[in-house]
Amino acid sequence: VFGLLLLAGIVGGELVKRMLNLPRIVGYMLTGLLLGASGLNLLDEPLVDESWIFLEIALGLVLFELGRRLHLDWLGNDRWLLATSLLECVLSFAFVYLALTAFGVTAIYATVAAAIGVSTSPAVVLLVAQELKAEGQVTERALNLTALNSVAAFVLATMLLAWIHHDYQAGWTMVVLHPVYLLSGSVVLGYGASAAAIVFSRLLGKHAERQFVMLIALIVLTIGAARMLELSVLLALLAFGVFSRNVDRRYDLMPVDLSSVGQIFYVVLFVVGGAKLQLTDLAAGGALGMVYVAARFIGKSIGVMALTPLSGVRPGTAGLLCIALTPMSGLALAMVHQTTTLYPDFGAQLATIVISAVLILELAGPIAVQYALKRAGEGRAEEK
């Protein structure tokens, strides 16, 4: 059955690519939607549950790759990019919070939902960029902004955990120590993994194939360690990526391309992602989901439009960046999931708000990113 899932995903991806010229991941998701609970119901709950290891590795790879794209030197050389990121995060948080409370959502739910909305989907932006073999200012800036807002969303969501713990009358140690443990533990784990990668690469020498296998091994190992220690897999892998790009001052690590091995995991990620979506949620979240999506887009756009021109890029870049930052998906769901496991009651209520938004942006997001990157002329394929 698992093989069928993969095969169906690949076929769906190709169909969507060839017939509609949309990103393959839209096809993967539609396949999932068709086979999943909302469609033929072929992908039942146990199968989806069994695939968690694939999902985890897929997200781990995505975040590692994204982390490697975050170039800290650049933030020093172009301070306006850093400023853009800060403003974009603050405004999208503020707009979503205000919009949701205006529609009568309780403050604590609105805050957590807003924090989750700060992040752009790393998987969607990275995979669409890889599919188009895109490079250029819109691509690189979108990836760096995505990495930064993912970090911001993580930190915010984790700090809010403290508040939730408090609300649920957990002990003081839980309120303070759990978020601190989660954040610092994940970062330390990521740093440790990158230090190990650098040491191993020095031993292995400059051989792309060996370094490739070594990195995959360390990624899987880090995922395992994060789960065992109940840390955030996502943050640990993102940190692993960031450190291995920015700490390796002797350039022992080679810039190996992991996308080939990633592909199989990404298909599973999006097919299962699609299968999990329940169209009934759309109706339930309905109007509120639309409000959420709109407020988030406006907040991000104001931030990006206000400061991006100061980076000295071509006119039009800012607008396309706004579009490229719209996707939400796996990461947001994972964050909802994190709270759901701790406090099922709280998670469920939050889920209805966020999931309908994710449903909209999961399908529209990849199309938006593809549009932005193609419009910027950054895809490799088209010769204009």
Partner 1 sequence: MTDMLFTGSKELSVGVELELQILNSRDYDLARDAADLIGLLEKTPPPGAVKPEITESMVEVNTSIHRTYDSLVAELKVIRDAVAQAARRLDLRIAGGGSHAFHMWADRRIYPTERFKNLLELYGYLAKQFTIFGQHVHIGCPDGDAAVYLTHILSRYVPHFIALSASSPFQQGEDTSYQSSRLNTVTAFPLSGQIPFVHSWSDFLAYFEKMRSYGIVESMKDFYWDIRPKPEYGTVEIRVFDTPLTVERAALLAVYAQALARHILMDRPLPPERDVYTLYNYNRFQACRYGLEGKLVDAYTRRTVSLREDLLDTVKLLASHSAALGNGGVLARLATDAEAGRTDAAWLRQAYKERKSLNDVARLQSEEWMGKAGAPS
The footprint of partner 1 (CB under 8 A) covers 68-69, 71, 73-74, 76-78, 135-137, 140, 205-206, 245, 251, 254-255, 311-314, 317, 378, 380, 383-384
Instruction: Determine the Cα–Cα distance for residues 53 and 248; give it in Å rounded to an integer.
Output: 29
Q: Which is nearer to partner 1, 317 or 326 (CB)?
A: 317
Task: Tell me how crowded residue 104 is: count the other CB atoms within 10 A of its CB.
Answer: 8
CB of 206 to partner 1, least distance (A): 4
CA distance 254 to 251: 7
Q: Closest distance between partner 1 and the C-beta of residue 304, in Å?
A: 17
> Minimum CB separation from partner 1 for residue 78, in Å?
5
The structure tokens 């979503």 sit at: 96
Tell the smallest beta-carbon distance from residue 360 to partner 1 (Å).
32
In b/e form, how buried is each residue of 351-374, taking b as 16+ CB within 10 angstroms? bbbbbbbbbbbbbebbbbbbbbbb
Alpha-carbon gap, residue 207 to 20, rounded angstroms? 40
49 or 383, CB closer to partner 1? 383
Which residue is it, tokens 């990121």? Answer: 85
Rounded Cα–Cα distance for residues 24 and 186 (Å): 32
Quote the least distance from Cβ 83 to partner 1, whole Å. 13
Rounded to a whole number of angstroms, the minimum distance from the CB of residue 255 to partner 1 is: 4
Instruction: Mark residue 333 as left, alpha or beta (left: phi above 0; alpha: psi -120 to 50; beta: remaining).
Output: alpha
Rg, Å, the chain Cα set: 20
Residue type, 313: V
The residue (of 52 and 74) whose beta carbon lies closer to partner 1 is 74
Distance, in Å, from the CA atom of 317 to the CA atom of 304, rounded to the nearest integer, reads 10
Q: Are 67 and 308 in contact (CB under 8 A)?
A: no
Residue closer to partner 1, measured from CB, 230 or 257: 257
Residue 286 or 312: the one with the smaller Cβ distance to partner 1 is 312
CA 340 – CA 334 distance, rounded (Å): 10
Cβ proximity to partner 1: between 248 and 290 the closer is: 248
CB of 140 vs partner 1, minimal distance in Å:
6
Q: Provide, rounded to whole angstroms, the least separation between the CB of residue 258 and partner 1.
A: 13
Handedness of CA 283, 89, 97, 331 (dihedral sign): positive
Six-digit token string for 191: 């740093």
Whose Cβ is closer to partner 1: residue 140's or residue 263's? 140
Minimum distance of partner 1 from residue 80's CB (angstroms):
9
Q: Which is nearer to partner 1, 155 or 310 (CB)?
A: 310
CA quadruple 167, 286, 12, 19: dihedral sign: negative
Between 52 and 251, name the residue whose CB sits nearer to partner 1: 251
